[in-house]
Amino acid sequence: MLAQDNVRILPAGGKLGVLVAGMGAVTTTFIAGVEAVKRGLAKPVGSLTQLSTVRLGKRTEGRSPRIKDFVPLAALEDLTFGAWDIFEENAYEAALHAGVLERPLLDQLRAPLEAIRPMPAVFDHEYVKRIHGPNLKPKGAKMEQAGMLMEDIRKFRESSGASRLVMIWCGSTEVFHKPAEVHASLQNFECGLKNSDPEISPSQIYAYAALQSGVPYANGAPHLTVDAPALVELARERNLPICGKDFKTGQTFMKTLVAPGLKSRMLGVSGWFSTNILGNRDGEVLDDPGSFKSKEESKLSALEQILQPELYPDLYKDVYHKVRINYYPPRGDAKEGWDNIDIFGWLGYPMQIKIDFLCRDSILAAPLVLDLVLFMDLAQRAGMRGVQEWLSFYFKAPMTAPGLYPEHDIFIQLMKLKNTLRWMRGESLITHLGLEYYD
Ligand SMILES: NC(=O)c1ccc[n+]([C@@H]2O[C@H](COP(=O)([O-])OP(=O)(O)OC[C@H]3O[C@@H](n4cnc5c(N)ncnc54)[C@H](O)[C@@H]3O)[C@@H](O)[C@H]2O)c1
């Protein structure tokens, strides 16, 4: 018997316009990567939407379609890109500047990349301190700036011929701010936009413009943006999906692999020291204490949530957890992340684990951007609105409903993601109980 979909999913016909705020290392690696895959020059390694399968039914049924054959996703050929940045370089020049992908590959993609010229940005030095660029919108009240972004979105929709749009923040990390009164409701927020309230960040102006234009919004950086009641309210009101925050790559990805493993065996942790060196523009921005604070908050929360010291005080009550990021220009985008983990086993005997991850930040982040864009478009067509917790898999600090702690364990996150896809298509959820095989 064919399964009956639980939600009505509109087809992925026509073009999907991908609007990216910030066109630096991650964005150019993502766009160039899609163009390279389209031309058969490389494989989309790291992308679930392109490579992963989803098991359906019992293990004996042998049904494991690719995710992209199971749910209707936009095809890579149907993606069209637009971006904003404070620098004027086109995507080809920006990719060369970022220094992630090699020139011979970029040269083969030169034409489509050169065609992407960043629109002038809404920018505020109070929120990102270390960089200065000329490609800015004229000064004005924050509501006027939102209006200018909405006009950009309207024009992009028209010129690209896209039938649907998705926006994702891949811009610099903004200075740490807690939610304020102006974020408490949509009414307060709109009033704050009119008065140019200093607590409203540029990324929140982009998010407001997106949602008001009927465009889903994903946040790849650790700052607040849509993780505020006012914007959640707007997303729900406009029936739009939102998600965030902070792509889970590099060191936190490793942390969320190792920590659930240690906990699953009831091994204790007394200390976890994490330090990074990186030399790209992201590293330069994170060298500012305000931006680092946003990142630190996001990185610290994962371990505590996974280990649950309140349930396991003997094992995790006093974990000494430290995270450091050091800007070290010679490394460029090739980050090095060290972890020293002090653990203890049977009768409290101590042991150590050392991880030295020589990673490439943007190479890890690009497939996440692709998956998020395609899944947010799917969610939009499936009528799913508000916070998309099933996309926690991609984030260091996943957004959740108020009062709910986020799920950080990557394997639970993956199960949640795949079960959501099964649920959409009316397939049975997989619980891994499996007693029926032994009746
Ligand atoms: N690469 C990773 O693994 C990873 C992981 C998690 C989060 N992130 C986050 O993703 C974001 C992008 O990272 P990246 O390495 O590409 O950084 P990057 O510095 O190379 O690119 C960011 C770009 O955003 C632009 N920008 C800043 N403020 C802007 C604004 N208001 N409007 C438009 N453009 C603006 C900058 O000019 C810059 O070109 C950062 O916030 C980073 O913290 C990256």
| 248 Cα to the center of ligand 1, angstroms | 14
Strand partners, 15: 162
Q: What is the pLDDT along the chain (439 residues), one digit of tens a residue?
A: 457 899 999 999 999 999 999 999 999 999 999 999 999 999 999 999 999 999 999 999 999 999 999 999 999 999 999 999 999 999 999 999 999 999 999 999 999 999 999 999 999 999 999 899 999 999 999 999 999 999 999 999 999 999 999 999 999 999 999 999 999 999 999 999 999 999 999 999 999 999 999 999 999 999 999 999 999 999 999 999 999 999 999 889 999 999 999 999 999 999 999 999 988 888 888 888 888 888 788 778 889 999 999 999 999 999 999 999 899 999 888 889 999 999 999 999 999 999 999 999 999 999 999 999 999 999 999 999 999 999 999 999 999 999 999 999 999 999 999 999 999 999 999 998 889 899 8
Q: How far apart, in whole angstroms, are the C-alpha atoms of residue 108 and residue 119?
A: 24
Q: Record the tokens describing residue 311, joined without a space.
A: 């349930």
Phi then psi for residue 11, to 5 deg, are -65, 160
What sign for the dihedral angle of Cα 290, 281, 333, 242?
positive
Do 326 and 275 form a contact (C-beta atoms < 8 A)?
yes
Answer yes or no: is the C-beta of 85 below 6 A from any ligand 1 atom.
yes
- pLDDT at res. 1: 43
Answer yes or no: is the C-beta of 216 below 6 A from any ligand 1 atom.
no
The residue written with tokens 């951007």 in the block is 369
Do 283 and 313 form a contact (C-beta atoms < 8 A)?
no
Answer yes or no: is the C-beta of 333 below 6 A from any ligand 1 atom.
no
- pLDDT at res. 186: 98
Q: Atom 9 in ligand 1: which residue has the minimum CA distance?
A: 221
Do 118 and 23 form a contact (C-beta atoms < 8 A)?
yes
Task: Please list the alpha-helical segments (H only) found in 56-201.
Answer: 67-70, 91-98, 103-108, 110-114, 142-160, 186-194
Angle at 430 between CA 425 and CA 434, to 5 degrees: 145
| 27 Cα to the center of ligand 1, angstroms | 8
Angle at 181 between CA 177 and CA 187, to 5 degrees: 120
pTM as predicted? 0.96
Q: How far apart, in whole angstroms, are the C-alpha atoms of residue 208 and residue 230?
A: 9
- Could you identify the atom of ligand 1 that is nearest to the CA of residue 172? 41
- Could you identify the atom of ligand 1 that is nearest to the CA of residue 21? 33
Q: How far apart, in whole angstroms, are the C-alpha atoms of residue 432 and residue 225?
A: 37
The residue written with tokens 């394997």 in the block is 411
* Mutational test site, ligand 1, from 125, 172, 331, max ligand atoms within 8 Å of CB: 172
| 182 Cα to the center of ligand 1, angstroms | 25
| 170 Cα to the center of ligand 1, angstroms | 5
What sign for the dihedral angle of Cα 419, 79, 26, 138?
negative
